[in-house]
Amino acid sequence: MPVLTDRTSPGRLLAVLFLGVLMAALDIALVGPALPAIGEHFGVSERTLAWVFNTFVLFNLVGVPLMAKLSDVFGRRAVYAADVALFAAGSLVVALAPTFAVLLAGRAVQGLAASGIFPVASAVVGDAFPPERRGRALGVLGAVFGLAFIIGPVIGGVLLLFGWPWLFVANLPLAAVVFVATLRTLPGPAPGAARRIDWGGLLTLGAMLLALAYGINQIDTGRFVESLRAPRLWLALGLVGGLFPLFLRLERRAPEPLVRLGLFESRQVILAGLLAAGAGMTEAAFIFFPALAVAAFGVTKSAASFMLLPLVLAVALASPVAGRVLDRVGSKAVVLAGTTLLTLGMTTVGLAGDLRLFFYTGSVLIGLGLAGLLGSALAYILLHESKASERAVAQGIITLFISIGQMTGSAFIGAVAASGGGTAAGYQRALLVIAAVACVLTLLATGLKSRAAERAALHEH
């Protein structure tokens, strides 16, 4: 297993991983401000414009198992560097796109590249850091997302003065720095690493994820009940159900399966997957906070975006702290604290009415809760439960469940809000339902291993 040397010092290694994850996270934060200008440039409708984001999500979701497996087979350094280079190439295609179709092709490349960056970065932490220091390292990586949403709007506002393509051109110098630093710093493949790829399992899982994402995308939040009767939705979900037994059969027979099914014999892994899906649903609520602020407090859209700052600041500042605590008390205590704070935060915002103090207080509680749950704890659990040869795939499982939770949560919250006529009461009703989901997550977290049991499991892997 690759370990830290003088050449790959902890600080230098974390800096490279941090910058790579920041690059991918910033893209998500920057695309929002660019959408109106892109729509005006290509003359497309808002519904068509949504595919700028949807295309990225679709290819990001499908690419996770591929990039994770390639990392476990060919080594972290090669795949991380390739993903960074691919992300830069996709950014350049978007910036120079002569048509909207070409722009979407560039977004597809970006999504595919980004799908490997965070799982591989988390796997590198498992490879190169001793168990007693993994939590704080993962906490630093978790802080990236809060930081991206703090500085993203500022950077976006400045670059938009020069034209929307510059939001994507800006990725190139950062990608160049990360690419060179990756080749110099990240550890190479472990001796005797496996060289087989389970292409049957990979293609089947990719088809399942694509069908699932397409099906969820067919749900119209404005006409929720009617859209549930759409044949295309049920055809897509039927395809998922039909391919699932085939996927299980392929994985049981594969000499080196994409996903070792024995991994899911661990209650810890199953609970982590469910917690990740639930966390993704709560994270989806972010999308609707500006609309809630506009409806509840009568502020402008620009002011509503700034009202998210307490939430993202809480995520950015609390993630490293949660990581340090994680090394001392274990995942169960941190996850329980995170889900409890999420429940309290969602309930507070859901009951805020037109009281800004309740809105801000609830936002901070949500940020603290997500820092404990998404910042490092779930990745930490999978590092303990997986073998060294499958760490990236295990991290990919968490990413997949979070993405599925985000998609379903977004559709559900939008539907509940739309049923309330897009009023503040409609959005707050949706958040109260998400608070109930967070309460269920708290109950699930009680089933996680104690600190002593978690340490014992580490010696088995």
Write the DSSP assignment of 45-94 as a string of letters.
-HHHHTHHHHHHHHHHHHHHHHHHHHHHHH-HHHHHHHHHHHHHHHHHHH
Are 145 and 53 found together in one domain? yes
Are 389 and 444 found together in one domain? yes
Q: Give pLDDT, residue 439.
A: 94
Cβ-Cβ contacts under 8 Å for 211 (sequence gap 6 or more): 236, 237, 239, 240, 243
Using CA atoms in the order 295, 430, 32, 312, what is the torsion angle rounded to 10 degrees? Answer: 90
Q: Is residue 218 part of a domain?
A: yes
Range of the domain at 224: 198-257
Q: Give pLDDT, residue 63.
A: 85
Closest CA to 393 of 17, 77, 72: 72
Are 265 and 253 found together in one domain? no
Closest CA to 20 of 133, 127, 141: 141
What average pLDDT does the chain have?
Answer: 83
Are 208 and 282 found together in one domain? no
Angle at alpha carbon of residue 37, lines to 31 and 38, rounded to 5°? 70
Closest CA to 329 of 341, 340, 338: 338
Cβ-Cβ contacts under 8 Å for 249 (sequence gap 6 or more): none
Task: Return the residue matching tokens 């089933």.
Answer: 447
Mean pLDDT along residues 312-325: 86
Contact 319, 140 (CB under 8 A): yes
pTM of the model: 0.80
Are 115 and 133 found together in one domain? yes
Q: Is residue 451 part of a domain?
A: yes
Q: Is residue 191 part of a domain?
A: no
Q: Give pLDDT, residue 416.
A: 77
How many domains does the structure of the chain reveal?
A: 3
Cβ-Cβ contacts under 8 Å for 282 (sequence gap 6 or more): 342, 346, 366, 369, 370, 409, 434, 437, 438
The residue among 121, 152, 185 that closes a domain is: 185
pLDDT over 70 (residue 330): yes
The residue among 233, 257, 281 that closes a domain is: 257
Q: Is residue 291 part of a domain?
A: yes
Which of these ranges, 256-260, 269-273, 423-427, has the smallest mean pLDDT? 256-260
Q: Is residue 193 part of a domain?
A: no
Q: Is residue 423 part of a domain?
A: yes
Are 266 and 409 found together in one domain? yes
Q: Is residue 229 part of a domain?
A: yes
Are 143 and 252 found together in one domain? no
Q: Within 13 Å and on the Cβ side, how many CA atoms surround 454?
A: 24
pLDDT over 90 (residue 147): no
Q: Is residue 192 part of a domain?
A: no
The C-alpha atoms of residue 41 and residue 57 are separated, in whole angstroms, by: 22
Are 380 and 241 found together in one domain? no
Mean pLDDT along residues 50-57: 81
Contact 172, 92 (CB under 8 A): yes
Are 173 and 79 found together in one domain? yes
Mean pLDDT along residues 88-106: 94
Are 243 and 105 found together in one domain? no
Are 443 and 304 found together in one domain? yes
Pick the residue with more confidence: 235 or 306? 235
Mean pLDDT along residues 430-440: 91
